[in-house]
Structure 1
Amino acid sequence: MQIQLKNIRIVLVETSHTGNIGSTARAMKTMGLSSLYLVAPKTLPDEQAIALSAGANDIVESAVVVENFNQAVADCSLVIGTSARSRHLAIPQIDPRGCGKQAVRYAEQGGKVAIVFGRERVGLTNEELLKCGFHLNIPANPDYASLNLAMAVQLVSYEIRMAMLGSRQSEPTTLVTEVNEKPTQQELDYFFNQTEQLYRQLNFIQNSGVMPKLRSLYARADLRKNELNILQGMLAAVKKSTVASE
């Protein structure tokens, strides 16, 4: 179980208060999670973070600090982004229970999973959410949906543990193949960058609204690596043809 759970990371983006880092570490450790990534925290973990970790200081001290969102999820085949409010984005929605099942499904077969929590005040940006395969929303009381960061992490971590305890691998071979065929976030980002570069060159993209819609389209398609390779080949062929005609 521990080996599988190590494939699931909690990512905190631009935390303002170090105490939230410590409280998050505590929430994670109670449910068996240990991989914590910090994206450009306002302040690095300090004594307050250690104090509020309540014995989970090992998670705080081993936290991986990176500069941006892309670095935190580059090697992951499943990225789930959280948001406290509904967004008008064409991204598959998921609740904490569904999040736990999806995360465990990938982790059991060796896939790396990132569950991303945004800034305390404003959450994740739309651009960051568009890079996620699922949009996680906690269905709290709409009249008082006041969850702090550590509470949200605790809820999600609990559902991950429950999914792990109740998992049944009825078709392991099929699942292994499916997860291994998923492209990483880094591979997807490369494809989208190449797509935008070519489409702008062809004057197909003339404003900033096109790429988010394309990202949403491909997210719903749930691409496999061989399908992404076909799309990359199509881009290369169009680029070659364009150069030849100049």
Structure 2
Amino acid sequence: MNLDNIRIVLVNTSHPGNIGAVARAMKNMGLKNLYLVEPRQFPDEQAQWRAAAASDVLDRAVLSSSLAEAVADCQFVVGTSARGRRIPWPLLDPRHCAQRMAEASSREQVAVVFGREDRGLTNDELQLCNLHLNIPTSADYSSLNLAMAVQIVCYELRMLLEADTLPQREDEQWDTPFSSSENMERFYQHLEQTLVDIEFLDPAAPRQLMSRLRRLYGRVRLDEMELNILRGILTETQKFVPRPVAEGE
């Protein structure tokens, strides 16, 4: 994937603050090519303010007089659509669409087109697109802020770019080896003895306490350092347990 070959195109954006927010969302995910088709108000201080540290994306923004002009050199154009159309068109969700865009961007210019805040893209504009993209939302409230929609699409592209570097498991980059079964058994024996010493556990009526604690710690998966910390706590706890006085002392 080549993010330099992917552009975000905004059509007739009504509020300059939304343009700034889109620039920020793009830069967060590593995209920098912003095209603006007849924005109602740009340049504008509100756009700069909302862009925060992404003002460089705004400074490079390309202004176009029509969508056709903004995508004229693109080989793959994706149009965001919030509703079904009379004539069915190829349609994907952001995750699957990102895969298509990633593949195309390695050799082609790709455009992702977002329409007006209040009514999206027209049918004529959508017909300029090779593929339509729809972001699934709750039926209770389906309206998405423009910058939020852009962020979702850019995020899916970023996830594909980072796929090989992201951990596949929550403990993949752990700093300490996990405890062995043998060491865990020593810990359970130490724990049980400590609970007996402080009279929390009655050996005559254990009531499955140790079984439940085994289940708890087994679910957590302790590493060696964590295990040593817990055993140190148990050792210090035992120091405060009164010991029976031997005869003659």
In the other structure, the counterpart of 2:159 is 162
Q: CA deviation at 1:160?
A: 0.8
Matches within 5 A, 1:197-236: none
Q: Could you say what secondary structure the match of 2:77 adopts?
A: strand
SS in 1 for 2:53: coil
- Larger helix proportion, structure 1 or 2? 1
State the distance in 2 between where 1:96 and 1:70 align.
23
Q: Secondary structure at the match of 1:27?
A: helix
Paired position in structure 1 for 2:207: none
Matched residues in 2 for 1:42 and 1:20: separation?
Answer: 11
Task: Give the Cα separation in 2 of the matches to 1:27 and 1:148.
Answer: 12
Shift of 1:166: 2.9
Structure 2 residues without counterparts, runs of 5 or longer:
165-249
- The answer on whether the counterparts of 1:8 and 1:112 sit within 8 Å (CA) in structure 2 is yes
For residue 90 of structure 1, what is the amino acid of its counterpart? P
The structure with higher relative contact order (CA 8 Å, sep 6+) is 1
Query: TM-score, normalised on structure 2?
Result: 0.64
Partner residue, 2:137: 140
Q: CA deviation at 1:144?
A: 0.6
Unaligned runs of 5+ in 1: 168-246
1:26 corresponds in structure 2 to: 24
Are the aligned partners of 1:7 and 1:107 in contact in 2 as well (CA < 8 Å)? yes
Q: Is the 8 A contact 1:100 1:161 kept in 2?
A: no
Question: Which of residues 148, 151, 162 in structure 2 aligns to 1:151?
Answer: 148
Measure how far apart 1:119 and its partner are: 0.6
What is the percentage of aligned positions where both structures have the same residue? Answer: 55
1:44-98 alpha-carbon deviations (Å, 9 max, x no partner): 1211101100110000111000000100111111000001222222210111001
- Give the CA deviation at 1:162: 1.1
Q: Which residue of 1 aligns with 2:82?
A: 84
Match of 1:64 among 62, 65, 69: 62
Contact kept, 8 Å, 1:13 with 1:41, in 2: the verdict is: yes
Q: Which amino acid aligns with 1:123?
A: G
- Aligned equivalents of 1:23 and 1:48: distance in 2? 10
Matching residue of 1:38: 36
Q: Report what 2:113 is aligned to.
A: 116
For 1:51, the aligned partner's letter is: W
Assess if the C-alpha contact under 8 Å between 1:35 and 1:63 holds in 2: yes
Is the Cα–Cα contact under 8 Å of residues 20 and 150 in structure 1 kept in the other structure?
Answer: yes
Task: Say whether 1:131 aligns with 2:143.
Answer: no
1:12 is paired with a residue whose SS is: strand
- Aligned equivalents of 1:69, 1:53: Cα separation in 2: 23
Match of 1:17 in 2: 15
Larger Rg: 2
Residue by residue over 1:144-180, the C-alpha shift from the partner in whole angstroms, topping out at 9 and shown as x without a partner, is 112110000000000011122237xxxxxxxxxxxxx
Question: How many pairs are equivalent?
Answer: 164
**Partners of 1:158 and 1:135 in 2: CA distance:** 18
SS in 1 for 2:36: strand
Q: Which amino acid aligns with 1:101?
A: Q
